[in-house]
């Protein structure tokens, strides 16, 4: 089975040095997160480490 990898590119500067985060109103301890979260990401936010641009 072939796997496809897609790299997120900054829309402002074209950098590939991008980080992803799942913004939340509060942080749940990792050992208890399973009790509250089924693992689905509601919203994924990206930030460029070069120009600090943020998008979702």
Name which residue leads in pLDDT, 54 or 41.
54
Partners of 21 in beta bridges: 45
Residue 54's pLDDT is: 92
Question: What percentage of residues in the chain have a pLDDT greater than 90?
Answer: 39
20-35 per-position pLDDT tens digit: 887 665 555 556 555 6
The pLDDT-based confidence of 49 (bands split at 50, 70, 90) is very high
Quick check: helix, strand or coil at residue 32? helix
Mean pLDDT for all residues in the chain: 78
The pLDDT-based confidence of 5 (bands split at 50, 70, 90) is confident
Among 40, 38, 37, 41, residue whose Cα is nearest residue 56? 41
Domain residue limits, the chain: 1-56
């Amino acid at each position: 089975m072939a796997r496809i990898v897609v790299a997120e590119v900054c829309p402002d500067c074209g950098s590939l040095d991008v980080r992803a985060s799942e913004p939340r109103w509060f942080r749940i301890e990792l050992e208890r997160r399973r009790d509250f979260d089924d693992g689905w990401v509601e919203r994924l936010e990206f930030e460029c480490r070069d120009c600090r641009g943020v998008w979702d």
